[in-house]
Amino acid sequence: MRSISNPWAALLASLAVLCGASVARASERVVQDSMAERVQACVLCHGREGRATPQGYFPRIAGKPAGYLYNQLLNFRDGRRPNATMAGLLRNLSDDYLLEIAQHFAALDLPYAAPAPTPALSATEQARARALVLQGDRARELPACAQCHGERLGGRQPFVPGLLGLPRDYLVAQLGAWQTGQRRAQAPDCMARVARALKPDEVELMARWLAQQPVAGAPEPARESPLPMDCGGMATAPQSAKEGAR
């Protein structure tokens, strides 16, 4: 029986070879050796460019003060902040490399998303939360959040983070972790002292009020006057971290 040539089969075979070569070339993406590429593991959880994600427990890290980010990387690596994923990622990284990561994210000046919807506060609840955040409570020796975190609550260079642009769940979780000792900072741990002075309903009210506020600006410059209480981690970053945060 005579074989019959099929020109269409030959054409399809040729196209298959060409398409396979194109797919192979497309998959060969050139990766630059840049910090933006090196921190891809960070943005898987913390969102594109560190802008945060809709999930309530992955905070924004873009634009935070370099000294603060550096201290938190140290805390995760060294066990003061227990998190198996973070500890695993940072276990073998040097102090200098952690500083480079911190400076990379600190330099990202990116817009904030609008505050996520949270349960409304009554007028009484708003007044109580606002007073605690902006005025504190002298009778309990409880400083105002604004005394350390800036008048606009956007943070203060180079070591104090902002309190706005964070989800309510994250704020509640972190204050609760300080209250129970699950989160710690370099001694003296002033945030643990502040958190333990707060009542459970105050934590909830403050977190909801803060989560509802729009971000008013970038971290404020370093202050020359002392903080209302001694806080560790305010001078642990190398001088380059302080300079990079200016």
- Residue 15: per-residue pLDDT: 42
Position 86, amino acid: M
CB atoms < 10 A from the CB of 19, how many?
Answer: 10
- Structure-block tokens of residue 209: 């009020």
- Structure-block tokens of residue 40: 């891809």
C-alpha–C-alpha distance, residues 237 and 232, integer Å: 11
Top CATH class, 35-244: mainly alpha
C-alpha–C-alpha distance, residues 142 and 164, integer Å: 20
Of residues 6 and 68, more confidently modeled: 68
- Structure-block tokens of residue 127: 């007044």
Which residue is associated with the tokens 């940072």? 90
Is residue 20's pLDDT more than 90?
Answer: no
Q: In the structure, what pLDDT confidence band is assigned to residue 170 with cuts at 50, 70 and 90?
A: very high
C-alpha–C-alpha distance, residues 140 and 142, integer Å: 5
Is residue 236's pLDDT more than 90?
Answer: no
Return the SS3 of 210: helix
C-alpha–C-alpha distance, residues 240 and 246, integer Å: 10
Write the pLDDT tens digit of every residue in 174-214.
999 999 999 999 999 999 999 999 999 999 999 999 999 99
- Structure-block tokens of residue 204: 């909830």
Q: In the structure, what pLDDT confidence band is assigned to residue 246 with cuts at 50, 70 and 90?
A: very low
Which residue is associated with the tokens 């504190």? 136
Mean pLDDT of the chain: 86
- Residue 29: per-residue pLDDT: 65
Percent of the chain with pLDDT over 90: 70
Q: Which residues contact 142 (CB under 8 A, 6 or more apart)?
A: 132, 136, 194, 197, 198
Return the SS3 of 88: helix
- Residue 27: per-residue pLDDT: 56
Burial of 190 (0-12, 13-18, 19+ CB in 10 A): buried
Nearest to 208 by CA among 130, 156, 151: 130
Is residue 158's pLDDT more than 50?
Answer: yes
Q: pTM for the whole thing?
A: 0.81
Alpha-helical runs (H) found in the chain: 7-27, 35-38, 40-46, 66-78, 84-90, 95-106, 123-134, 145-149, 168-180, 190-197, 200-212, 239-244
Is residue 53's pLDDT more than 90?
Answer: no
- Residue 114: per-residue pLDDT: 84
